[in-house]
Chain A
Amino acid sequence: MRSFDIALKNIKKSRSDYSIYFFTLILGVTIFYMFNAVGTQGIMKKAMCSSNTAVDNFVTVIGMVSVAVVIIFGLLIIYANNFLIKRRKKEFGIYMLLGMNSSKVARILLYETCIVGFFSLVIGILLGMVASQCLSVIVAKMFMMDLSDFKFDISVQALEKTLLCFIGIYIVVFLLNKRSVKKNKLIDLLTASKKSEKEVLKNSSASLALFAISIVGLVYAWIRVGFDGENLTIKAFLICVVMGFVCTFLFFRSAGGFLQKAGSSCRKFYTKGLNAFVVRQFTAGVNTSSISMAVISLLLFLALLFFSTGFSIRNYFNARLGNHTPVDITMDLFSLEPDSFFEEHDIPMDEWSSDHLMIPIYKEEEVTLRTLLGNHIEEASETFRMAEWDSMVGVMSLSEYNLIEDMYGRDRIEMNDDQYAFILDFDLMGEIVNGALRDGNKLKVSGAELSPAYDHVIPECVLMSGMEANLGIVILPDRVLASPECGLEQVSSFIAANYASEEAGASAESVLSELEDDVFYTTKNEIRSSSIGMTVIIVFVVLYLGIVFVISSAAIIGLKMLSDSIDSASHFTILKNIGASTHDRKKALFTRVFSFFMFPLALAIIDTFFGVRFVKGFMNAIGMINMAQGIALSLFIMVLIYGGYFLTTYEGCRKIVGI
C-alpha cells in the first residue's frame, strides 16, 4: 500500500479523533481570514468615512493582533496534534515493527498533514470569505450606513497572509511529529497506551482549607472591584487582580477535593444510580488538570468581559457622538463682527447654513482658572503641572448661553443675578472645580461678588470636540455684563450652525480650512469619522481576541475530554457489566462532558458579572451605557462556538466509549 493510501485510510478511520482537531483548524483559518480581510473591504473604507489613515490604522492594529493570534493558534494546534500522536503511537510502533523505516512513517505523517491542512485551509477560507462579508454587513448596520453599493470581494492580501501563517504552522507540526516518531524507542511507541496518568491523591482537609481560602479571596476581589471599583486606587486594583488570579488557580486546585467531599457526604445523592461514578470521574479530572482549567476559566473571563464591554464602548461612542455633535459645525471666530467676516470671505452665513447662532465671548482678568479654583488651586496644580492658571476663561451671558442650550436641544440653566455657573466637560479638571464650587467659592467680577449657582460644573460642551477636554465657559448673569463698570471685553465670537445642505456645508468648510489663523472650528463629520475609526478598531480587536480565547478554551477542554474518554472507555464497559442501563451510561457521559465545559465557564461568568460592574461604574461616570447588546452578543458567540465544541466533543466521546 502506498503511503498516501495509508494516510487517507488513517484519517477516515479516526474521524472521531480528528473531529475536534479539524474543527479547530477550520475555525482558526476562518477567523484569521475574516478579520484580516474585513479591513481591506470597501465597506470598511466607507465606515471610516473614506479616511485612508483610519483604514490603515485598522489594518495595522489587526495585523499586530494577528501575530498574537497566530502564536495562540500555533500552540493550540500543536497541543491538539500531540493528543492525536499520543493516541497513535502504538500504530506507528506497529508500522515500524513490520519493517517500515522511520522516514516512511514520517512520509505517512507528511501526507496526513497535507490532506488535513489542505481541506482545513480550503473549507476555512471559503467560510472566512462568507463570514467576512457578513461582518462587513454587521459593521455597516452598526454605523447605520447604506448597503446599496455592497459587493462581494475577496482580499488577496488576507488570503496570502492566511496561507502563509497556517502553512507555516502545519510545517512546524509536521516537523514535531516527525521528531516524536524518530526519537521514540519502539518499545515506548508500542506500550504508550498502557501508561496512564498517575493518580493525584489529594489530602482532603488541606483541599478544604485551600478551597475556603480561594473562595474568600475571590469574593473579596469580586466585591471590591465590582461594588467599590470607582474608589479603588490603582495599587488596590492591581492587588485585587493578582488576588483574583492566584485564587482562581487555588480554586481549581482544591475544587476537586472539595466537591468530592461535598458529593460523598451527601449520601442520598451519592448512592443514587451512577452519581458516585460521575462525581469521582469529575473530581479526578479536575484534580489532574487544575492548571489548564484555571487558565481556561481566565481566558473565558477575558473573552466574556471583552464581548460585553467592548460593544458597550461602541454604544458609548455612538451615544456620545449624538450628545456631542448637536450641530453640524461650531466655531470660535477671532473676529468681533462675524457677519462681515463671512461676507468678506464670500461665505455669508445665510447661504450655507439653515440656522445659526452667533454669540460673543468675553474675557476678563479676574475670571481665570485660578480664581475659579479658589483654595483648590494646589490640588489642581498637582494634577496638571503644565497648566497656565492665569490664562483667562471665556465668559458668556446667561440669556445668550441659553440660546445655545435651545439650539443644542438641552435644558436651559437657571440662576439668580448674584450667581455664576461653570460649563466644563473636562472630567479630570471638573472634579477639582467641583470641590471649589461646593465650598461656595466666590467670584469677583467688576465689583460684583457672585456665588456658584450649582455645586458642580455643568458637564456640557459649547464648542464641539472629539475629546472632552474643553477649557470651559463661565456663565454670568446678564445684569453683570450690562452694568457700566463692567470690565469685560469681547475677544471672539462663538458660532454654531447647521448646514443648509451637505454641499453648501462642504464648500464653507473648504473656505474655512484656509483661514486657520482667524477661526478655530470643529465639524460633526470630523468628530464622527475619528470616533468611528477608533470604535471600529476597539470593537474588532475585542471580537477577534475574544473569539480566539473562546476557541482555545473550548478546544483544550474538548481534547482533554476525548483523551479521558479513551482512558475511561473500559470504565463504561464495566458499568455495562455491572448492570447500568444504556440510558444511565449516556447520562453519565453527558454529565461528565457537560460539567467539564461548564465548570470553568461558571466561574468565568461570575468573574464577568463583577468585571462588567466595574467597567460600567467607570463608564457611567462619563455617560450612560447599555450593556444588553454586548451581553446578547457574548451569549450568541458562546452558544455558537462553545456549544459547537461541546456537541462535537460529546459525540466524539460517545463513539470512543461505544454507547
Chain B
Amino acid sequence: MSVILEVQNAEKYYGNKGNISPALNDLSFSVSEGEFVGIMGASGSGKTTLLNCISTIDTLSAGRVLIKDKNIATLKGKDLDRFRAECLGFIFQDFNLLDTMTARENIALALSVRGEELSKIDVKIEDIAKLLGISEILDKFPYEMSGGQKQRVAAARAVVTDPELVLADEPTGALDSKSSKALMESLGKLNTERHSTILMVTHDTFSASYAGRILFIKDGKIFTEIVKDENETRKDFFRRIVDVTTVLGGELDEIV
C-alpha cells in the first residue's frame, strides 16, 4: 500500500531568541493509504501542533511533511488553496458547519468550491448521506440538529470530495457518549467501506479504539505506538490503549 502521509524529523519551536520551547521534537511517522490512525497524548503534548502543521495551517521549524510525496512547505498561494481543496478533509471538535446553510448545502459547498458538476453533486451527497445515516436531515439547518448529527454532517462534508487524507481534531470532544459512539461508527465505516485515510487526534480512549493504529505523543516526541491485530476485538484493543495511557499519564518515578 502506498504511503499517503510522511512526517520526517518534524520540529516546531515556539517563542523567540533565548526563550525557546519545543512543541515538536524530532518526530517522524508515516500513514499508508486506507489507514485509520489515532494520535493520543495529554494536553500540551503537541498533538494539535502536529495536526496544524500537517493541515498547512501552521509551518514546521524544521523537518518535512510529505503528502503523496509532495513537500507541503513548498506550496504557496493558489497551489496551496488547490492542494487543500483536493487533498485534505477536515473534521473539527466544534463541527464548523455554516449555520446559515442546510446540511445538504454545507456538503455541496465542499464539492462546488472544487468546480464539481451539478449532476454529480446530488448523487455524491445522497451516497455519503446514506452511508452516514443523515439522509433524513439533509434539508435541516445546523441549529435544528443534535451535536452528533452535526458532526456526521461535518464528516460527510470532509469525505464527500474523496480527499487523500481526512484530518479529525477531537471529533467527539463536544459530543455525549451516545453521539460519540454513532460518530465513531460512521468514521469506521468511512474507513472500511470508502477506504478513506483518516488521521484523528483525540484524548478520548473510547474514540481511539476505533482506529487501527495509535501513536502516543509526549513532550513533542512519539512515546510509543500500538497496532490493532487483525483478530483482536475492539474491546481488547481498548484495554491495551487504557494500559498505555495509564503509563503515559502516570509515571510514578517522576513524582519527587
Interface residue ranges, A against B (CB under 8 Å): 199, 201, 267-268, 271-277, 280-281, 284, 570-571, 573-584
Q: Does B224 contact A (CB under 8 A)?
A: no
Residues of B close to A576: CB separation below 8 A: 84
Interface residues as binary, B139-167 with A (CB distance below 8 Å gives 1, 0 otherwise):
00101000000000000010001000000
CA distance A67 to B81 in the complex (A): 54
Question: Given A268-B118, A577-B84 in contact, is the A273-B112 Cβ separation under 8 Å?
Answer: yes
0 or 1 for each of B66-109: is its CB under 8 Å from A? (1 = yes): 00000000000110011011101010100011111100010011
Residues of chain A lying within 8 A (CB to CB) of residue B99: 199
* Docked-complex contact A571 and B121, CB < 8 angstroms: no
Which residues of chain B have a CB within 8 Å of any CB of chain A?
Answer: 55, 77-78, 81-82, 84-86, 88, 90, 92, 96-101, 105, 108-116, 118, 121, 141, 143, 157, 161
Q: Among A274, A275, A276, find the residue whose CB has the most chain B CB atoms closer than 10 A.
A: A276
The answer to whether A581 touches B96 (Cβ under 8 A) is no
Chain B residues closer than 8 Å to A277, beta-carbon distance:
98, 100-101, 109
Question: Is the Cβ of A579 less than 8 Å from the Cβ of B112?
Answer: no
Q: Say whether B108 contacts A276, CB under 8 Å.
A: yes
Q: How far is the CB of B113 from chain A (nearest CB, A)?
A: 5
CA distance A281 to B101 in the complex (A): 8
Give Cα A583–Cα B110 distance, bound, in whole angstroms: 16
Is A280 a contact of B105 with CB atoms below 8 Å? yes
Picked from B81, B86, B108, B109, the residue with its CB within 8 Å of the CB of A582 is B81
Q: 17 new A-B pairs (CB below 8 Å) besides A274-B109, A280-B105?
A: A199-B100, A267-B118, A271-B108, A271-B112, A271-B121, A273-B113, A273-B115, A276-B105, A277-B100, A570-B96, A575-B98, A577-B90, A578-B85, A578-B113, A579-B88, A581-B113, A584-B113
Contact B85 A284 (CB under 8 A): no
Across the interface, B98 reaches (CB within 8 A) one of A267, A574, A582, namely A574
Closest residue on chain A to residue B99 by CB atoms: A199
Q: In the complex, how many angstroms separate the beta carbon of B72 from the nearest chain A beta carbon?
A: 14
The residue in B81, B82, B114 that gathers the most chain A C-beta atoms within 10 A of its C-beta is: B81
- In the complex, the number of residue pairs spanning A and B with C-beta atoms less than 8 Å apart equals 83
Per the bound structure, the CA–CA distance linking A274 and B112 in Å amounts to 7
Which of A284, A579, A583 is within 8 Å of B114, CB to CB? A579
Q: Which residue of B lies closest to A196 (CB)?
A: B99
Of A267, A280, A578, most buried by chain B (CB within 10 Å of CB) is A578
19 interchain pairs (CB within 8 A)?
A: A268-B118, A273-B112, A274-B109, A274-B113, A276-B101, A276-B105, A276-B108, A277-B101, A277-B109, A280-B101, A571-B98, A571-B100, A577-B90, A578-B85, A578-B113, A578-B157, A579-B82, A579-B85, A581-B82
Contacts of B86 in A (CB 8 A): 579
A581 contacts across to B, CB distance below 8 A? 78, 81-82, 85, 113
Interface core residue of B81, B109, B114, B115 (most chain A CB under 10 Å): B109
| Chain B hits for A272, CB < 8 A | 112, 115
Whether B109 and A578, one on each chain, are in contact in the complex, defined by CB atoms closer than 8 angstroms, is yes
User: B96 contacts which of A271, A577, A583 (Cβ < 8 Å)?
Assistant: A577
Give min CB distance, B53 to chain A, whole Å.
15
**Looking across the interface, which residue of chain B has its beta carbon closest to that of A285?**
B100
Chain A nearest CB: distance from B115 CB in Å? 7
Q: Which A residues are in CB contact (< 8 Å) with B105?
A: 276, 280
Q: Which 10 A-B pairs rank lowest in CB-CB distance, beginning with the nearest?
A: A579-B85, A581-B81, A280-B100, A284-B100, A577-B90, A580-B113, A578-B110, A574-B96, A271-B112, A280-B101
Q: A275 → chain B, closest Cβ, in Å?
A: 7
Query: In the assembled complex, how far is the CB of residue A203 from the closest CB belonging to chain B, in whole angstroms?
Result: 14
* Cα-based distance from A456 to B223 in the complex (angstroms): 106
Residues of B contacting A582 in the complex (Cβ-Cβ under 8 angstroms): 77-78, 81
User: Which chain A residues border B115 with CB–CB below 8 Å?
Assistant: 272-273
Distance in angstroms from A271 CB to nearest chain B CB is: 5
Q: Which residues of A contact B109 (CB under 8 A)?
A: 274, 276-277, 575, 578
Question: Chain B nearest CB: distance from A593 CB in Å?
Answer: 16
A582 to B84, CA, bound (A): 11
What residues of chain B lie closer than 8 Å to A267, measured between beta carbons? 118
Distance A192 CA – B141 CA, assembled complex (angstroms): 24
Return chain A residues, CB-CB under 8 Å to B110.
578-579
Give every chain A residue within 8 A of B112 (Cβ-Cβ): 271-276
